[in-house]
Amino acid sequence: MTTFAEQLADGRVHVFDGAMGTELYARGIFINVCFDELCLRQPDLVREVHAAYVKAGAEILETNTFGANPVKLATYGLAEQTEAINRRAAELAREAAGGRASVLGAIGPLSVRLEPFGPTSRVEAFEFFKTQAAALQSGGVDGFILETFSVVEEIHEALRAVRAVSDLPVVAQMTIQEDGLTAYGTTPELFAQALDEFGADVIGVNCSVGPQGVLEVVEKIARVTDRPISAQPNAGLPRLIGDRKIYLASPEYTGAYAKRLVEAGARFVGGCCGTTPEHIREVVKYVASVSPRRATHVTAGHVEQAAGVEPVPLAERSAWGRKLAAGEFLRTVEIVPPKGVDASQMLDAARVLKAAGVDAVNIPDGPRAQSRMGAVLSSILIERETGLEAVVHYTCRDRNLLSMLSDLLGAAAHGLHNLLLVTGDPPKMGPYPEATAVFDIDAIGLANLVFRLNHGLDPGGNPIGAPTAFVIGVGVNPAAIDPERELRRFAWKVDAGAEFAITQPVFDPDQLEDFLRKVEGFRIPIVAGIWPLTSLRNAEFLANEVPGVTVPPEILDRMRSAQERGREAAAAEGVAIAREMLERVRPMVQGAQVSAPFGRASVALEVLA
């Protein structure tokens, strides 16, 4: 009986199987079906595909479990069958192998973002992978193959999980995009060295962009690791014909490139999406007479991507950062950008504020999901035209990770330094409720991203040259409906690199004081949000329609009484309340952000007086 450990030790070239999904689809299984569950519902069909690959000459079979983790199975309502599906999948592959091929338990990514760029913790990911790995082990696999991962941190958790339940060998494979990098921009050299350090028995690449792109990656990997290398390319890039994706690389072409992959350093070759038993038959034929070349030079150790880069000290990044570092009290005013292209009113207000000596102007980014001039460009206009520093609110709602990275690099190049990172209000709150939100990452993930940029690294761990010099701010809500969740999220934001926080409008100083007591152990400078109410209607709107804002009944009563005396009396009472809030919270915080209602800077200055 052939085992993968024996294949790993013999120094020869061995051939994986090809695509499982492609073959199941060709046999009439629709793409909206959970292919992993077929191990339970149609075991004969799965066994038939495995047997076809063995007949074609495959020496290593992968179980039909690429998506059989609890997270992905949950989308089909099958999370509780994780163990049963994986165990049966291993048994089916073993039966089809018939002693002529080894069996690897296939584990794919969770398809959810992990920390630091997503809500799923690495501990949770570890447990999900551990559940799957244990079930595959119980089904009798010879080893494991972690495949099609694009995030180094996630494949690390998968590898740790496998090691926690088994001492069988592990193949660890990443996937790349057309630019030759992972989805986060990690280079093959970087992820190969990371996988080497993590202790993977075989390091490789699969899926990706076809044989040619995979060949280029193998050539790069071979220069930085002396571990065995694996390669399983797609059958080229798919072409959409009607409503079907057709892979155009022929079996002969795939086989010819398999030979080149081995010559470049791969010891284990096979196929991924679009490859069939015919492709594997050609691969077997082409690699029968070749051996992997040995790398002439291996650079050991993890590449230090930001070598020589020193983060800019907080006090040197901006005047705002200098005052934060010195513990000085900061005064800032929030002005909403214009709805059209005329920025004159915003600029006039900024000039008034600069003349009054405020430290900065805060520019919100589409508050309440309204479409206005972009906060980044508005801030560039203000700083260029008035010389007043801006604190740029930047939301995750409207942009994916790639777009955020582009925006932030451009903002840094334009000289913007002060950021307030927020997740953003959902579109249903605004005038375009049918608009689509992105929320690719949240404010915690964005804080991690900016922290890395400040250390000269992009999300994939690649150097960007000179580091950015952002002062990292985040939002916090002392009046949150779920205070425990808010405390956890605030702690994570601080851990991600936040250097100051601005609160939602404060109308209850006792509530703020209680919150600050609870965060004493991980507190950063807090800037209190102060909102001068303009009318009873304004107060009622904030109290009932703006998430995260709490207006106590006594404040509503005061505004109601003032409103009875007229509009001016109500506005004056709103300013009086705001000044009282500022007076009460001043000893507790390091600054105040006062909103300028309707862009009227004079009202905000009246509060700050």
Of the candidates 429, 422, 437, 428, the residue with the CA atom closest to the CA atom of residue 368:
429
pLDDT digits (tens, 9 = 90+) for 38-52: 999 999 999 999 999
pLDDT in tens, 490-522: 998 999 999 999 999 999 999 999 999 999 988
Give me the long-range contacts of 162-168 (CB less than 8 A, separation at least 24).
Answer: 162/107, 162/129, 162/133, 163/199, 164/126, 164/130, 164/133, 165/130, 165/133, 165/134, 165/137, 166/133, 166/137, 168/4, 168/5, 168/137, 168/141, 168/142, 168/143, 168/144
CA of 243: how far to CAs of 30, 210, 239, 412, 467, in Å?
A: 12, 21, 10, 43, 45
Burial class (CB in 10 A: 0-12, 13-18, 19+), 124: middle
Residues of 164-198 as b/e, b for ≥16 C-beta within 10 angstroms? ebbebbbbbbbbbeeeebbbbbbbbbbbbbbbbeb
Q: 536-545 and 553-563 helices cross at what angle (nearest 10)?
A: 150
**DSSP letters of 86-128?**
HHHHHHHHHHHHTTSSEEEEEE---SSPBTTSSSB-HHHHHHH
State which residues of the chain have pLDDT below 50: 240-243, 295-305
The owner of tokens 């801030």 is: 379
The secondary structure element, H or E, covering residue 333 is strand 330-334
- At 241 the pLDDT is 45
CA 8, 12, 14: angle at the middle one, nearest 5? Answer: 75
Give pLDDT, residue 430: 55
3-class SS of residue 267:
strand
pLDDT of residue 366: 73
Taken in order of first residue, the domains within the chain and their CATH numbers are: 4-287 (3.20.20.330), 319-531 (3.20.20.220)
Neighbours of 132 (CB within 10 A): 31
Please check whether residue 23 is in contact with residue 279, taking contact to mean a CB–CB distance below 8 angstroms.
no
Rounded CA-CA distance 54/284 in Å is 11
Spatial contact of 9 and 278, defined as CB atoms under 8 Å apart: no
With 0-12 CB in 10 A as exposed, 13-18 as middle and 19+ as buried, what is 463? Answer: middle
Measuring CA to CA, how many Å separate 139 from each of 51, 132, 143, 445?
18, 11, 11, 37
Write the DSSP string, 371-431.
--S-HHHHHHHHHHHH---EEEEEESTT--HHHHHHHHHHHHHTT--EEEEE----GGGSS
Helix (H) or strand (E) holding 591: strand 591-595
DSSP for residue 482? S
